[in-house]
Amino acid sequence: MALAASETVVHPPASAPPLTGLTPLEAEAVDLFVGLAQVVGLPKSIGQIYGLLYISATPLSLDDIADRLDISKGSASQGLKFLRTTGAVRLCDEHGSRCDHYEAETGLRALATGFLKEQIEPHLESGEDRLARLKRLAANAPAAERTHVVQRVKQLESWHRRAAGLLPLLIRFLGK
């Protein structure tokens, strides 16, 4: 603060992809994916990274990403790890450079599959144990409530079946 009176704002070069900061187009794309990330419960940084890679015409390195988005290398590394294991991002065979470069996987089916496999399926599986335990407890409930709770647990089982059946259907619908 307390700028010298004569100080002037330095304007960035008018054209050419900046090494730091985002073009308006990139910023808009990043924003869109940040919003999407929020919707599916993922951290903002992951949305930023994927968004930048999605719109970028060329593969980007970890450092490119951290610099352009102004996030730490740590965040970039963690975010890319997640995106890699989830299949949303690919390491592309870099001809010239010494470091790894990434590009976005843009097939909706691949993205959805990765996300569902990683984030939803585990819950469906652990749900089975839960349901089994619930079923046992319901069977032992006091007589007055037994029919009611048994019915509810049956309904939960039906939900579970339907959810499990939904996953492959979803993937098919989004497919190729």
Partner DNA sequence: ATCATTGTTCAAAAATTATTGAACTACGCC
Partner DNA sequence: GGCGTAGTTCAATAATTTTTGAACAATGAT
Least separation in angstroms between residue 82's CB and DNA is 10
Number of residues that make up the chain: 176
Q: Does 75 bind DNA (CB under 7 A)?
A: yes
d(CA 106, CA 25): 18
Least separation in angstroms between residue 101's CB and a second copy is 16
Least separation in angstroms between residue 45's CB and a second copy is 17
- Helix (H/G/I), strand (E/B), else coil: 59: coil
Return the residue matching tokens 């990330």: 37
Residues 48-67 that bind DNA (CB under 7 A): 61-63
* Residue span binding a second copy (CB under 8 A) among the ranges 4-12, 74-82, 95-103, 121-129: 121-129
Q: Does 161 bind a second copy (CB under 8 A)?
A: no
Token reading at 125: 């599986």
Q: Which helix (H) or strand (E) holds 26?
A: helix 24-39
State the pairing for strand pair 101-104/60-61: antiparallel
Q: Does 19 bind DNA (CB under 7 A)?
A: no
* Residue span binding DNA (CB under 7 A) among the ranges 43-51, 132-140, 150-158, 162-170: 43-51
Per-position DSSP letters for 113-165, written without gaps between them: HHHIIIIIHHHHHHHHHHHHHHHHHHHTS-HHHHHHHHHHHHHHHHHHHHHHH
Residues that bind a second copy (CB under 8 A): 15, 23-25, 28-29, 31-32, 35-36, 39-41, 54-55, 57, 106, 108, 119-120, 123, 126-127, 130-131, 133-134, 137-138, 141-142, 144-145, 148-149, 152, 155-156, 159, 162, 166, 169-170, 173-174
